């Protein structure tokens, strides 16, 4: 589904990604771990098409489409979803109107008519129960006055509504207490399917106790330096990242 | 908002031009440009006015000739050459109109283009419309229904003929002839406008609506609106404005006066979309308007305005809170783009005890425009326990535009409570990216964010207007982030 080859990217004069390679197949869940500053969030931003990040080399393909050629909104319509590490507040815009605009943008892209109110509300009901998002939060302005945990649940809610092909979760576990972590994980797990792929970026093993990855990759200095199964995460939890750096230098 | 409306909105967004920029081919009866006493006599005579009104106009003219055009507003423009303007332009009509069927079909077409087909409005929305093109009122619907309740809603010209005692009693009582330069000019040369009287205890069952349109080239529009709500009555009044695209500047200098008697309530909503000029600042309407209302005991006046048009706007809908326990409100969204300049706000004059006022102003500046809020909250010595709450927010879309806030507060009683909040923010790239990441294109994202920002004000508008206002907001901000 997703092919990343020799990806180089920079912000300003800082080279952050240095030849990153990754292939993700439908149904797979890849965890990306690594120390601070290794380029994890940059990878998420580059995939989503954030303007401040300049791709200097390499390619990214989603089902054969050159992703780097598309505007951020077109990438989203093609099925790329980014769950933000710090979800953005949009005062005065209700969560539901926001989602309806997003759903209809995607439908228009696919040549479909706008969603019927009844169908939309049914979808909203289904998805909000998935992450235990109550009615009040749905009707409030996008993320305005939400707690950290509510914001993250709202991200997963939006992800469920939009039914993306590729879900990129950028440190979705940061700032979550145990209960919220469980709720968010439950939502993610419910969405796993043979047609959908996930890239889960995290610092900590604890998220991966709830969301079991198929692959774990370690990112260091802007490239993947070690890959393995879910055991790799446990090893990292145990030993930290230094041993990988030493391995690299050896 | 319904999905289909959003669709429509989206398709309209792609139309890049000022969509009301057409002219109507109607033969006009226009007098020669220029202004002197004889012009005023001609206007008064053409309108078959009583002597007292001619005298009143001439007094205004005499005062005006001694006045200077004000320069304190935060706007810069080439002053209009008043001697090159025609002060009277009426669509030619052969006879009195008995029904809509007799209205010039071209004129009806104009109304259709504006999306305010009188016929349709009659049937669907129960809005009575008075349509003022250039300076003369052409059609008022629903007169009979309103007549049964004793509501008078007609052109000011007609009111002068039919109800001279009411006009004479109230005209100039809230905005005196010599109030300011443009109000004085209006008093001297106004050609028509709307008049509305709601009798005691009557709750006007429909929204009353006037559409103003400047059509003829080289004319100014000087309409005058007079609204009188008698004791315990209620009326909601809508005003919409458009003008065709023209290279030269057109002058619009209106006066609106509202009298809200004891326990009466008047809601006055405006969607102003005069032609703003092109992106280089060529052409556009100079909108120099004086709007003021007076509240007697326990009365209320709410001004709600969505200002997206005009090259230069200079407008401060105000409330004189004379009676005890009276309430004044001002809710405003002012959008400026390209080279537009707006200096707008309100004055709340608290005279009575326990008077309350609320001001919510949302400025949105884009392109190289300048957008100023100017407000005065004045609490006089007798206004014990008066309260004011003001919020003035500014949203900047580019690095080249300007937002300015000039709040003046004068409190002369120790028991007054005044709260003022102001914020200025730049539209967030984070917010736009967040929307884009959900599949919403940049233009639409900006529309969403801006509507969200202005929601507190848009919510105050009557339904039909709210939809139009949202469209206008989106259209007037096209391609505006940078």
Q: Which of A47, A92, A94, A119 would best serve as a mutation to test chain B binding (most B beta carbons within 10 A)? A: A92
Q: What is the pLDDT of residue B4?
A: 46
Bridge-based pairing state of the strands A29-33 and B234-242: unpaired
pLDDT at B215 over 90: no
Gap between the Cα atoms of A122 and B7, Å rounded: 21
pLDDT at B266 over 70: yes
Grouping H, G, I as helix, E, B as strand and the rest as coil, residue B103 is coil
Q: What is the pLDDT of residue B122?
A: 42
Q: Which of A49, A53, A73 would best serve as a mutation to test chain B binding (most B beta carbons within 10 A)? A: A73
pLDDT at A164 over 90: yes
Gap between the Cα atoms of B215 and B22, Å rounded: 8
- Contact flag B442-A73 (C-beta cutoff 8 Å): yes
Residue A138: pLDDT band with limits 50, 70, 90: confident
Residue A40: pLDDT band with limits 50, 70, 90: very high
Q: Is B452 on the interface with A (CB under 8 A)?
A: yes
pLDDT at A168 over 60: yes
In chain A, the percentage of residues whose pLDDT exceeds 90 is 76
Q: What is the DSSP letter of B247?
A: S
A2-249 belongs to CATH 3.40.50.300: yes
- Contact flag A71-B436 (C-beta cutoff 8 Å): yes
If you average pLDDT over each of A72-86, B102-116, B119-133, B460-474, which comes out highest? A72-86
Strands (E), B380-416: 387-396, 402-411
Q: Domain spans of chain B?
A: 28-476
Q: What is the DSSP letter of B219?
A: B
Q: What is the DSSP string of A7-35?
A: EEEEETTEEEEEEEEEEE-TT-EEEEE--
Residue with tokens 């001297």: B188
CA distance A51 to chain B (A): 9
Gap between the Cα atoms of B60 and B186, Å rounded: 8
Residue B212: pLDDT band with limits 50, 70, 90: low
Chain A, window 86-145: residues with a beta carbon less than 8 angstroms from a chain B beta carbon? 87-93, 97-102, 104-106, 109, 114-115, 117, 141
Q: Which of A52, A71, A72, A114 would best serve as a mutation to test chain B binding (most B beta carbons within 10 A)? A: A72
Gap between the Cα atoms of A88 and A201, Å rounded: 19
Q: Which of B436, B439, B452 sits opposite A91 (nearest CB)?
A: B452
Q: What is the pLDDT of residue B401?
A: 86
Closest CA relative to residue B221, chosen from B251, B181, B188, B201: B251
Classify each residue of B71-92 as buried b or exposed e, where b means 16 or more C-beta atoms within 10 Å of its C-beta. eebbbeeeebebeebbbbbbbe
- For residues A223-234, give the mean pLDDT: 92
pLDDT at B1 over 50: no
Question: Which residues does chain B have within 8 Å of residue A106's beta carbon, measured at their own beta carbons?
Answer: 439
Residues B67-107: pLDDT tens digits?
888 777 777 777 777 777 777 666 554 444 445 555 556 55
Q: What is the pLDDT of residue B95?
A: 43
Both tokens of residue B128? 């009575």
Give, in order, the Cα–Cα distances in Å from B374 to each of B318, B362, B393: 11, 12, 12
Question: Which residues does chain A have within 8 Å of residue B454's beta carbon, measured at their own beta carbons?
Answer: 92
Residues B50-67: pLDDT tens digits?
999 999 999 999 999 898
Both tokens of residue A52? 């401040």
Both tokens of residue B358? 């609320």
Gap between the Cα atoms of B446 and B397, Å rounded: 9
Residues B290-333: pLDDT tens digits?
999 999 999 999 999 888 877 888 889 999 999 999 999 999 98
Q: Is A8 on the interface with B (CB under 8 A)?
A: no
What residues does B208 pair with on adjacent strands? B128, B237
- Contact flag B451-A93 (C-beta cutoff 8 Å): yes
Q: Which of A92, A93, A104 sits opposite B3 (nearest CB)?
A: A104
Gap between the Cα atoms of B209 and B140, Å rounded: 9
To the nearest whole number, what is the mean pLDDT of chain B?
80
Gap between the Cα atoms of B310 and A113, Å rounded: 37
Lowest-confidence region among A130-134, B231-235, B248-252: B248-252
Q: What is the pLDDT of residue B80?
A: 74
What residues does B50 pair with on adjacent strands? none
Q: CB contacts < 8 Å between A and B, how many?
A: 93
Q: Residues for chain A: how many in total?
A: 250
Q: What is the pLDDT of residue A189?
A: 96
- For residues A190-205, give the mean pLDDT: 94
If you average pLDDT over each of B12-26, B33-47, B466-480, which comes out highest? B33-47
Both tokens of residue A158? 């939006």
Lowest-confidence region among A100-109, A215-224, B279-288: B279-288
Q: What is the pLDDT of residue B104?
A: 57
Bridge-based pairing state of the strands B194-198 and B249-252: unpaired
pLDDT at B134 over 60: no
- Crossing angle (nearest 10°) for helices A95-109 and B442-453: 160
Residues A52-73: pLDDT tens digits?
899 999 999 999 999 999 999 9
Complex ipTM more than 0.90, yes or no: yes
Is A221 or B143 the better-scoring residue by pLDDT? Answer: A221
Q: Is A68 on the interface with B (CB under 8 A)?
A: no
- For residues A215-232, give the mean pLDDT: 93
Q: Domain spans of chain A?
A: 2-249
Report the first-to-last Cα separation within chain A, whole angstroms.
Answer: 34
Both tokens of residue A190? 């419910």
Q: B251 with B288: CB under 8 angstroms?
A: yes
Element (H, E) at A74: helix A72-77
Q: Which of B3, B439, B453 sits opposite A92 (nearest CB)?
A: B453
Q: Is B6 on the interface with A (CB under 8 A)?
A: yes
């Amino acid at each position: 589904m997703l092919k990343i080859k020799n990806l180089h990217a920079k912000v300003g004069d800082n080279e952050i990604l240095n030849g990153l390679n990754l292939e993700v197949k439908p149904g797979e869940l890849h965890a990306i771990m690594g120390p601070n500053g290794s380029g994890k969030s940059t990878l998420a931003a580059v995939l989503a098409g954030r303007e401040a990040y300049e791709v200097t080399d390499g390619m990214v393909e989603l089902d054969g489409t050159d992703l780097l050629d598309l505007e951020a909104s077109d990438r989203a319509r093609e099925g790329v979803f980014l769950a933000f590490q710090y979800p953005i507040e949009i005062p005065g815009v209700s969560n539901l109107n926001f989602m309806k605009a997003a759903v209809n943008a995607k439908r228009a892209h696919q040549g479909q008519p706008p969603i019927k109110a009844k169908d939309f509300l049914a979808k909203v009901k289904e998805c909000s129960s998935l992450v235990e998002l109550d009615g009040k939060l749905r009707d409030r302005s996008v993320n305005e006055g939400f707690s950290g945990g509510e914001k993250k649940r709202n991200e997963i809610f939006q992800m469920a509504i939009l039914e993306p092909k590729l879900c990129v979760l950028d440190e979705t576990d940061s700032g979550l207490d145990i209960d919220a972590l469980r709720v968010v994980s439950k939502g993610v797990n419910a969405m796993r399917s043979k047609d959908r792929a996930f890239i889960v970026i995290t610092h900590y093993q604890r998220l991966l106790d709830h969301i079991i990855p198929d692959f774990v990759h370690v990112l260091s200095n802007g490239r993947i330096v070690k890959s393995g199964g879910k055991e790799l995460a446990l090893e990292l939890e145990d030993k930290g990242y230094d041993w990988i750096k030493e391995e690299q230098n050896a | 908002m319904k999905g289909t409306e959003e669709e429509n909105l989206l398709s309209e967004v792609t139309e890049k031009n000022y969509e009301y920029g057409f002219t109507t081919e109607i033969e006009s009866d226009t007098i020669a440009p220029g202004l002197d006493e004889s012009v005023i006599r001609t206007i008064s005579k053409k309108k078959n006015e009583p002597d007292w009104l001619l005298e009143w106009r001439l007094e205004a003219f005499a005062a005006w000739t001694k006045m200077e055009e004000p320069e304190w507003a935060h706007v810069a423009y080439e002053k209009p050459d008043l001697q090159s303007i025609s002060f009277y332009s009426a669509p030619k009509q052969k006879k009195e109109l008995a029904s809509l069927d007799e209205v010039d079909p071209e004129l009806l077409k104009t109304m259709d283009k504006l999306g305010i087909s009188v016929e349709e409005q009659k049937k669907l929305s129960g809005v009575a419309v008075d349509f003022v093109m250039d300076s003369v009122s052409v059609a008022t619907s629903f007169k009979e229904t309103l007549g049964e309740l004793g509501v008078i809603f007609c052109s000011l010209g007609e009111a002068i003929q039919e109800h001279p005692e009411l006009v004479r009693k109230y005209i100039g009582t809230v905005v005196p002839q010599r109030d300011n330069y443009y109000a004085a000019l209006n008093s001297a040369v106004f050609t028509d406008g709307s008049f509305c009287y709601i009798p005691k205890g009557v709750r006007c069952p429909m929204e009353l609506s006037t559409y103003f349109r400047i059509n003829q080239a080289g004319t100014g529009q000087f309409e005058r609106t007079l609204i009188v709500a008698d004791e315990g009555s209620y009326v909601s009044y809508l005003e919409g404005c458009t003008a065709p695209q023209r290279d030269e500047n057109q002058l619009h200098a209106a006066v609106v006066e509202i009298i809200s008697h004891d326990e009466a309530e008047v809601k006055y909503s405006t969607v102003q979309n005069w032609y703003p000029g092109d992106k280089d600042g060529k052409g556009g309407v100079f909108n120099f308007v004086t709007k003021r209302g007076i509240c007697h005991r326990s009365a209320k006046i709410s001004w709600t305005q969505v200002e997206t048009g005009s090259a230069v706007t200079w407008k401060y809908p105000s409330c004189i809170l004379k009676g005890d326990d009276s309430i004044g409100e001002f809710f405003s969204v002012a959008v400026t783009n390209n080279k537009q300049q707006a200096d707008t706000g309100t004055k709340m004059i608290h005279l009575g005890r326990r008077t309350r006022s609320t001001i919510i102003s949302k400025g949105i500046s884009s392109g190289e425009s300048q957008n100023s809020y100017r407000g005065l909250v004045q609490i006089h010595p007798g206004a014990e326990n008066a309260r004011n709450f003001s919020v003035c927010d500014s949203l900047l879309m580019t690095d080249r535009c300007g937002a300015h806030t000039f709040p003046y507060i004068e409190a002369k009683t120790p028991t007054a409570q005044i709260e003022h909040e102001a914020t200025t923010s730049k539209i967030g790239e984070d917010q736009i990216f967040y929307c884009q990441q959900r599949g919403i294109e940049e233009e639409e994202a900006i529309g969403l964010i801006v509507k969200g920002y202005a929601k507190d004000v848009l919510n105050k508008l009557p339904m039909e207007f709210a939809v139009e206002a949202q469209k206008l907001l989106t259209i007037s901000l096209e391609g505006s982030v940078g």
